[in-house]
Amino acid sequence: MHACLVLAWLGAVVAAAMAVTLGGEAPVWGTYRPQVYVGMRPRIPDAVLSGLAYFGTRSLADIQHLRHTTKDDHGVRYYRYTHHDGRTFGRQEIVDDFLNYHLEISFVLSGAHPDAQQAGSWAIRVRGTVLNDELPAKVSLIYYLGRESSNAHLAYELGKHGEPTVVGSHPALGAFRLRFGDDGTETHYAGLKIPEDRVWDVHDPLLETFTERANTFHQRGAQLGQLPPATLLQLNDVVEDQATLFALQRSFTGNFTLDIFLDGEPHGSHLDAEQLTVALAQRREAYEDEFRAKFPLRDYADDDVTIARELTAQIVGGIGYYAGSSLVDRRHVSDAGLVLHEPSKAQPTREPARELLTATPSRSFFPRGFYWDEGFHEAHIAVWDPALAIELFASWTRLIDDDGWVAREQILGSEARSRVPEEFQVQFPQFANPPALIMGLDAYLSELPQEDTVGGVGGQAPFVLQNSSHVNLATLYEPWRRHYEWFRRTQRGQIQQWDRTATSKREGYRWRGRSTTHVLTSGLDDYPRAATPHVGELHLDLHAWMGAFARAMHRFAQRLGLVDDAREYARHYQAIQANLYDLHWSEDEGMFCDASVDDDDESYFECHRGYVSLFPLLMELLDPDAPALGKTLEMMRDEQQLWSPHGLRSLSKQHPLYGTDEDYWRSAIWIPINYLALRALHRYAALDGPYQADAHALYTELRQNIVRTVLDEYKRTGYTWEQYDAATGAGRRNRPFAGWTSMVVLIMAEKYP
């Protein structure tokens, strides 16, 4: 057959096999284990999971650098997704200087039915290229499948050509088979008995397997130092009784390609190596075309556009599925005093198992769901794939309990808990977190055409999405109303007790769960507050968040046709806006401040120039002609206060606590706050008023500073970072931190939903 005809035929075959709807519910299988370098699992609890482990075989010492979780990064220059559509295709690069390899790891899903009743098949290609031909390059790869409960069945058997394979079944997945591509390389295998709730932790069991193998050789009189390391670092081709984890292994010298296939039902969706090559090329081209369409970045150089595409892939590729119990201290407490529960004295109980599909801040340091981070994540994801964003929002919504509370950190199951220090594992139902998650809904509604909605609730047709998602938004409204009321009830501050004059006696707020030096619940951790905690404190940032929350719920209710509820939220918003000045504006300081109570039981302003001072602007609670807006803009642009060449500092450079102690939120530049500032400036620059020109000028310069800081550091280090140094622009603390730092892509595209 002519070469062109062969390619056309292959393309048609692949297109049929890879038929997956890009809208609608996310596939059953996915890269839902962001905490490992490579891992596929279904969005089903107590099913199966899989992953890749690899290590060098140049010497026996190489096994001490086994790569599996993203914490095993000694000698890894960087790892990052360059493409990921969140559904059926992704490509990741790992540059491993220690092992002398550049790894390109791609995957595709095929045969997944749009209604998710058929799990489908998937394939992974690992291509290894030697970095330095003058240095040795030997590597071994192990791919495993583990069962999380007796609901799944796994076994080892020979394939049609006599090669080792793993076969399995699960009620929700059907039958499936794990196999390696046929490249003539010898495959070894093992079946290990690991507790089902620990099959995710393969590091120690693999090391024990290799140690036992070395001991066996030694007992037979072999001189271990004379044996090739690859011979010792090899699975033993034995399946233990009642094995729960099955692994296949191949070893390579020099450049290599390893194809890994999981063949599920229907069988017509299975791929071979040639079809996989075509599928990967097609998906990569389609992904790049779609990115350019959704993020038009015509004013940027090609390498900057490439970074933006990669950051979008990284926030999407960081989506994880978690299932299991969490630790919650639900003891009844009185809110009459300042301190509720001390985390160090927690008495937790194990909650019933829950499920969550969520984006994650950092694959290495924070591979779990964070409540206030997720709002920023979903704002970005909603521009890429609105249906996927609303599915994440719906998953979080299902966590809201009957009282309206949802834990600010979702640590579900033993794998998630393994990455959290013990002192932070317990959650408390009195503690909140900034309600930024509503940004996910706002961003989704901004992307949703009006014609995709019908009716409302209360006797009218339900609000549904046509041809874009299985989520019925009307079902999400009541949990969110309950959540909103929980905030208003549990985080309410004291106004009348301290003779404060305010338009509304109701609209004042205080974060619960603070200590002398930290207000972790605010998300701003060590940002300065009153030196002596007091029950009479009122926190400006929470007040502003509640204004934004009321406005978002108003929009939600309006979209559903809930007129009375919309009016109620409008009243709340107006009262919050009025009390903003009554309770938090200091005329003497010319800024918005926290409030507290002194030793004489007198209310006073607690003022610390920095991010907290900006929250009325960040949440867009200020009228365009308000003098307070002008004062806030002046503070932002002051180079001795918040302005730097790399973005807005978290605390004034003149503050006595600037850069001190932990220095987490006391100097550094944070992208999410700068994004909120740019979003607000962008809108104020479009509104008539005396500060319109100032807002426009600040927006233009700040946007350029933020974009260049993040992109330049990405080019220098290969990563995005949790925060950036205000003096140098260098990345600080955790990396990679795709999370909300990826919001720089929305800034580049001027997407401010």
CA distance 572 to 508: 11
H or E element, residue 77: strand 76-84
Interval 535-558: pLDDT, tens: 999 999 999 999 999 999 999 999
Strand-pair category, 426-427 with 327-328: parallel
Give the rounded distance of the alpha carbon of 270 from its chain centre: 31
All structural domains of the chain:
3-202+238-293 (2.70.98.110), 302-476 (no CATH), 491-607 (no CATH), 610-753 (no CATH)
Integer CA distances (angstroms), 233 to 144, 187, 207, 270, 479, in order? 16, 13, 9, 31, 53
- pLDDT value of position 325: 96
pLDDT in tens, 6-57: 333 334 333 433 333 345 678 899 999 999 999 999 999 999 999 999 999 9
Residue 371 — left, alpha, or beta (φ > 0 → left; ψ -120 to 50 → alpha)? alpha
pLDDT of residue 24: 63
Both tokens of 628, joined, read 């307070």
Is residue 215 scored above 70 in pLDDT? Answer: yes
Q: Which residues contact 391 (CB under 8 A, 6 or more apart)?
A: 25, 26, 357, 469, 470, 471
- Return d(Cα 332, Cα 446) in angstroms, integer: 40
Q: Which letter, b or e, does each residue of 407-418 get, where b requires 16 or more Cβ atoms within 10 Å of its Cβ?
A: bbbbbbbebbbe
Buried b (16+ CB within 10 A) or exposed e, 579-589: bbbbbbbeeee
One-character DSSP codes across 285-299: HHHHHHHHHHS--TT
pLDDT > 90? residue 74? no
Of the pLDDT bands very low, low, confident and very high (cuts 50, 70, 90), residue 478 is: very high
Each residue of 375-406: pLDDT tens digit? Answer: 999 999 999 999 999 999 999 999 999 999 99
Predicted confidence (pLDDT) per residue in 177-205, tens digit: 999 998 888 999 999 999 999 999 999 99
Query: What would the mean pLDDT of 167-171 be, rounded to a whole number?
Result: 95
pLDDT in tens, 704-721: 999 999 999 999 999 999
Q: Cβ(540)–Cβ(612) under 8 Å? A: yes
For residue 378, how many C-alpha atoms fall within 13 Å in the half-sphere facing its CB? 33
CA–centroid distance for 569 within its chain: 30
* Pairwise CA distance, residues 394 & 471, whole Å: 7
pLDDT confidence of residue 441: 83
Mean pLDDT of the chain: 90
Which residues form the catalytic set?
Answer: 525, 722
Is the pLDDT at 222 greater than 90, yes or no? no
Residue 160 contacts by C-beta under 8 Å, 6 or more apart in sequence? none
Per-residue tokens: 19: 């038929």
**pTM confidence score:** 0.93
252 pLDDT above the threshold of 90: yes
Distance CA 51, CA 43 (A): 15
- pLDDT tens across 344-376, in order? 788 899 999 999 999 999 999 999 999 999 999
pLDDT for residue 753:
84
pLDDT band per the 50, 70, 90 thresholds, residue 217: confident
DSSP 8-state symbol, 495:
S
Can you tell me the distance from the alpha carbon of 714 to that of 544, in angstroms, rounded to the nearest whole number? 33
Residue 442 three-state SS: helix
Closest CA to 168 of 184, 182, 183, 179: 179
Contact 185, 250 (CB under 8 A): yes
